[in-house]
Structure 1
Amino acid sequence: MKFLFLFAFYTIVYFGFVSGVDSGYRTYENYKYIKVQGDRTGIEILKLALQDKDDSLVYSDTRDGAEIVVAPDSEILFNKIIATENLNATVLYNDISEIILMEKSMRRRNRKFSWTAYFDIDDIYGFLRNMSETYSEWSELIVGGQSYQGRSILGLRINTPGSKDSPKPVVFIESGIHAREWIAPATTTYFINELLTSNDPNITALRDQFDWRIFPSVNPDGYHYSYTVDRFWRKTVSGFGSSCFGADPNRNWNYNWGQFSSSNNPCDYQIYAGSQPFSEIETRTLSSYIENISNLLAYISFHSKAAMLLVPYSDSTKRIDNYDDLIQVGKTSLDYGYEVNKKERYGGPGTAAEILYKASGGSMDWVRYTLATPLVYTYELRGNSFHWPPSRIYEQGDEVTQMMLGLATEAQKLGYY
Structure 2
Amino acid sequence: MESLLVKFSLLYLFIQCVHTATVSKYKSYKDFKIYSIQNGNGLQRLIDTMKEFDESVFYSGNRNTTQILISPDLVPMFEEIAAEAKLETKLVVDDYSGLIEIERVLPPRKSGFSWNAYYDVNDIYRYLSNMSQQYPTWTELVVAGKSYEGRQILGLRINTPTDPDKPVMFIESGIHAREWITPATTTYFINQLLTSSDPDIIAMREKFDWHIFPTVNPDGYHHSYKYDRMWRKTRSKSENGCYGADPNRNWDYNWLKHGASNRPCDYQTYGGAKPFSEVETRTLSEYIAGLENLTGYIAFHSDAQMLLVPYSDSVEHIDNYDDLIQIGKTSLEYGYKVNKEKYDGPATAAEILYKASGGSMDWVRYSQGTPLVYTYELRGVYFHWPPWRISEQGDEVTQMMLGLVTEAQNLGYF
TM-score for the superposition, normalised by structure 1: 0.92
Partner residue of 2:17? Answer: none
Of residues 348, 351, 355 in structure 1, which corresponds to 2:348? 351
CA contact (8 A) 2:39 2:63 kept: no
C-alpha contact 1:35 1:89 (8 A) present in aligned 2: yes
Matches of 1:394 and 1:321 in 2, distance apart? 36
- Identity of paired residues, percent? 62
CA distance in structure 2 between the aligned counterparts of 1:176 and 1:366, rounded to whole angstroms: 17
Aligned match of 1:416: 413
In 2, Cα distance between the equivalents of 1:292 and 1:237? Answer: 26
The residue number in structure 2 matching 1:390 is: 387
**Equivalent-residue separation in structure 2 for 1:68 and 1:23 (angstroms):** 23
* Alpha-carbon distance in 1 for matches of 2:85, 2:269: 25
Q: Distance in 1 between matches of 2:158 and 2:239?
A: 38
Asked whether 1:251 is paired with 2:249, we answer yes
Give the equivalent residue in structure 2 for 1:87: 87
Structure 2 residues without counterparts, runs of 5 or longer: 1-22
RMSD: 1.5
Residue 46 of structure 1 deviates from its aligned partner by 1.4
Shift of 1:81: 2.2
**1:71 alignment partner in structure 2:** 71
Q: Secondary structure at the match of 1:105?
A: coil
1:211 corresponds in structure 2 to 209
Of 188, 197, 208 in structure 1, the residue corresponding to residue 195 of structure 2 is 197
1:90, distance to aligned residue in structure 2 (A): 2.4
2: CA distance between counterparts of 1:183 and 1:360?
A: 23
Aligned: 1:37 with 2:38:
yes
Any residues of structure 2 matched to 1:177-196 within 5 Å, and which? 177-196=175-194
Equivalent position amino acid for 2:375 in 1: T
Where structure 1 has 5 or more consecutive residues not aligned to the other structure, the ranges are: 1-21
Q: Which residue in 2 is equivalent to 1:26?
A: 27
1:17: which partner in 2? none
Q: Secondary structure at the residue paired with 2:210?
A: strand
How far the C-alpha of 1:241 sits from its partner, in A, is 10
Question: Is the Cα contact below 8 Å between 2:184 and 2:390 reproduced in 1?
Answer: yes
- What is the SS of the residue equivalent to 1:366? helix
Alignment of 1:397-408 (within 5 A): 397-408=394-405
The secondary structure found in structure 1 opposite 2:403 is: helix
Mapping 1:213-228, distance limit 5 Å: 213-228=211-226
Q: Give a deviation string over 1:293-352, Cα, whole Å, max 9, x none.
A: 00000000000000000000000101000000000000000000000001x300000000
The 2-side partners of 1:305 and 1:110 are apart by 31
- Matched with 1:277 is 275
Are the equivalent residues in 2 in contact too, given 1:110–1:116 (CA < 8 A)? no
May I ask how many residue pairs the two structures share in their alignment? Answer: 392
Which residue number corresponds to residue 19 of structure 1?
Answer: none
Corresponding residue of 1:9:
none
In structure 2, how many angstroms separate the alpha carbons of the residues matched to 1:45 and 1:351?
27
Instruction: Give the conservation status (yes or no) of the 8 Å contact 1:143–1:153.
Output: yes
Please name the residue that 2:52 is paired with: 52
Q: CA deviation at 1:87?
A: 2.0
